[in-house]
Structure 1
Amino acid sequence: MNTMPPILYFFALCNLVIGSGAFVLGGILQPMSASLGISVAAAGQAMTAYAVATAVLAPLLIILTARWPRKRAVQLALALFTAGCLVCALAPNLPLLLLGRVLMGAGAMFTAAASALAVSMVVPALRGRALSITFLGMSISYAVGLPIGAWLGFEFGWRVPVWLSAAASGAALAAASWLIPANMASAGTSFAGFQAAARQGAVLRVWGRTLLYFIAIFSVFAYVGPVLHALNPMNSAQLSATLAVFGLAGVGGTLMGGWATDRFGALRTMRVQLAVLVAMMCLLPLTRGSVPATMAVLVLWGIAGFGLMAPQQSRLASLSPAQAPLLLSLNGSMLYVGTALGAVISGALLDHVGFAQLGWVGVPFGLLAMLTLVFDRMPARVPASAAA
């Protein structure tokens, strides 16, 4: 039976709320810094605080709530995220803003918990599609939530999109309390079991692969506005439209990644997607002066980059299903560490290569991510009909 559990679409909606609330500040740093009387660089630490909290606190909370019913764990995650949004919306200064972002980062444990629930609800042959649906909201947040939030922030003040994030997260918390069954059991994550799972070379390669390809991606996207302007000068409306197109490509890539994982297997899917991603990174600097060429490269980049999440998560969950919540949470940690490192590496090389050539900075890291696949063997795949 190929029908997906309806609760997965609710998880996708929650991830849309979390993704939009988490990253919207990146687009409105200027008005936020002016309102709080701080520099733009200092305001940017709000993004760092969220990334660090997600990398450190979310896995810790997964361990501490391992024996809880899943409904309580989800409620805790959404309550923390809502509280963090409220603190940010009310923050009169940078320290309180950072505290709010830390609470939001802790609440981001929801994404790993929801992913683990998704793989537990379907047969193994359908895990890719289940994960792609769950992660779909995060992709949509790039295409819809971020551009709308940035527009609201510039037009009506930076606190408006933050208040909306708080309201949406509170509504998600209320809906979770109603929709998720109270008797949904824990997946049984424990630190002892996690130690055994983490010693597997295949698990370490998944984490390393996530780290490497996010370094590659964010060596460019940490400075995406200046990069696109260097390639083809554009106004703010054109830039927003370009980013929206990239986000929509990411939505399509997320769904295609889930389908391809179930159809061809996680490893085959990742090999193709990483090859496409590296190729687009090589081609991006060559599209200078041609808007259509730049857009075409960005669309393929979005499809390949976002499409990697489902096969990566499916591969990780298949290696140790009982430890999936913590393994997936730490995979999210690698995502945020890679995001930060990509920005640091490209920033250090910026004076030497310039914005237009930043695509080439990430190519070695993309190739290293591809190299990790050499050591993984493809398991025998069970057709969906047989598994059902």
Structure 2
Amino acid sequence: MHPMPPVLYLFALCNLVIGSGAFVLGGILVPLSESLHVSLAAAGQAMTAYAVSTALLAPVLIIATARWPRKRAVQLALALFAAGCLVCALSGNLVMLLLGRVLMGAGAMFSAAASALAVSLVAPALRGRALSITFLGMSISYAVGVPVGAWLGFEYGWRVPVWLSAGASLAALVAASWLLPANMASAGANFAGFGAAARQPAVLRTWLRTLLYFVAIFSVFAYIGPVLQALNTMSSTQLSITLAVFGLAGVAGTLSGGWANDRFGSLPTMRVQLAVLVTTMAVLPLTRGHLYATMATLVVWGIAGFGVMAPQQSRLAGMAPAQAPLLLSLNGSMLYVGTALGAVISGAMLDHLHLSQLGWVGVPFGLLALLTLVFEPAHVRPVADTTAHSA
């Protein structure tokens, strides 16, 4: 059993904070919309603003800070995220809220930077487990941060969980400043060959798969609170418990996804995960009026869906190890473009579908993501090897 670098657990903690702050609003859109006197669809723009900001700004910030010491880049990311949380907590209208979400989205560059560092700190055979630890915090945020935040938002007002996110972000900034070694080398200083790597069909398919996958899941998750309440009448406590069950399944999925990647390989793992995910999204609307069936479906969804990113990112990093930071950052951009598109598409469908039926909106995109794996070669020669031979 190979020990993992301790810094990965700090990354997991920071991702817990970022995930909780980023996605808690999805569970409390109803009280938020009532407080700001806007429609539910307009309130959903808070999710879209965060996603678009991260998609556009994360690669720019990754490039701008590529030659910085990693500690300073992490400090910048967490400071931006904390500042965004504070602006959101103080916002008196939708415009100010969206501005805060843009700042938070810029700070979410942390996740892409942490992913690149994680794969650079371990042997290739351990990349899946390293990434699963790094993203474990994101999964725990769904299990703990989002449900607790949803309960607090309904019981005491939507600003309470946002203030808590601001405090947690500042605490994460202090922890990173104290615990991260000052001499931690940059993992993003090598841009040679990036253009060649980015043009590889396998890389482009990977980015497309990430985009489609997140369009699929965020067609539901952007409105997860209202969707669950449309499926089954439930109190704020029941909603929080349901979200917690989903999140706990996601934790199991994240860990099992990393293990399965290292044990069976990325392609077999992702094929099973995406096939199961599409099935659960198709089934979810059919569980209306049956709470336990809804929860069971969410458990399967969480295990399958949350496990995808570890094998996906491990495979991408292996395609061009020297360019992994930028490749992973742009993969993160595809993640957030997909998040934004999923929110926009489902928001546009609210006039035509019942909230409980949003799962069906994501099914075609999930099938397209699965289709990208059908003809995927088992092994892709790393671009770095090719360029090295031609040099």
Q: TM-score, normalised by structure 1?
A: 0.91
Matched letter for residue 95 of structure 2: P
Q: Provide the rounded CA distance (Å) in 2 between the counterparts of 1:351 and 1:92.
A: 27
User: Relative to 1, partners in 2 of residues 1:206 and 1:189: Cα closer, same or farther, differing over 3 Å?
Assistant: farther
SS at 1:197 equivalent: helix
SS at 1:362 equivalent: helix
1:374 aligns with 2:374: yes
* Alignment-derived partner of residue 186 in structure 1: 186
Deviation track 1:342-382 (CA, whole Å, cap 9, x = no partner) reads 2333444455554444333322222211111123222399x
* Alignment-derived partner of residue 135 in structure 1: 135
* Alignment-derived partner of residue 247 in structure 1: 247
SS at 1:361 equivalent: helix
Deviation track 1:309-344 (CA, whole Å, cap 9, x = no partner) reads 111111111112222222222212212222222233
* Alignment-derived partner of residue 65 in structure 1: 65
Greater Cα offset, 284-293 or 157-166 = 284-293
Q: Provide the rounded CA distance (Å) in 1 between the counterparts of 2:221 and 2:42.
A: 20
SS at 1:375 equivalent: coil
* Alignment-derived partner of residue 224 in structure 1: 224
Q: Provide the rounded CA distance (Å) in 2 between the counterparts of 1:238 and 1:69.
A: 45
Greater Cα offset, 294-303 or 181-190 = 181-190
Deviation track 1:9-63 (CA, whole Å, cap 9, x = no partner) reads 1110000001111122233334444544555444433222211110101110001
User: Relative to 1, partners in 2 of residues 1:361 and 1:192: Cα closer, same or farther, differing over 3 Å?
Assistant: same
Q: CA deviation at 1:191?
A: 5.6
Q: Provide the rounded CA distance (Å) in 2 between the counterparts of 1:207 and 1:380.
A: 15
User: Relative to 1, partners in 2 of residues 1:170 and 1:355: Cα closer, same or farther, differing over 3 Å?
Assistant: closer
Matched letter for residue 134 of structure 1: T
Matched letter for residue 60 of structure 2: L
* Alignment-derived partner of residue 333 in structure 1: 333
User: Relative to 1, partners in 2 of residues 1:315 and 1:83: Cα closer, same or farther, differing over 3 Å?
Assistant: same
* Alignment-derived partner of residue 25 in structure 2: 25
* Alignment-derived partner of residue 386 in structure 1: none
* Alignment-derived partner of residue 299 in structure 2: 299
SS at 1:373 equivalent: coil
* Alignment-derived partner of residue 153 in structure 2: 153
Q: CA deviation at 1:239?
A: 2.4
Greater Cα offset, 212-221 or 17-26 = 212-221
Greater Cα offset, 46-55 or 121-130 = 46-55
Q: CA deviation at 1:189?
A: 4.3
Q: CA deviation at 1:232?
A: 3.6
User: Relative to 1, partners in 2 of residues 1:222 and 1:85: Cα closer, same or farther, differing over 3 Å?
Assistant: closer
Q: Provide the rounded CA distance (Å) in 2 between the counterparts of 1:300 and 1:86.
A: 35
Greater Cα offset, 164-173 or 201-210 = 164-173
CA contact (8 A) 1:281 1:363 kept: yes
User: What is the aligned residue count?
Assistant: 381
Greater Cα offset, 85-94 or 263-272 = 85-94
Matched letter for residue 105 of structure 1: G
Greater Cα offset, 66-75 or 254-263 = 66-75
Aligned alpha-carbon RMSD (Å):
2.3
Greater Cα offset, 353-362 or 99-108 = 353-362
User: Relative to 1, partners in 2 of residues 1:158 and 1:202: Cα closer, same or farther, differing over 3 Å?
Assistant: same
CA contact (8 A) 1:63 1:190 kept: no
Describe how 1:166-315 pairs up with structure 2 within 5 A.
166-189=166-189, 193-315=193-315
Q: CA deviation at 1:105?
A: 0.8
Matched letter for residue 170 of structure 1: L
Alignment gaps of 5+ in structure 2: 382-391
Alignment gaps of 5+ in structure 1: 382-388
CA contact (8 A) 1:189 1:324 kept: no
CA contact (8 A) 1:20 1:141 kept: yes
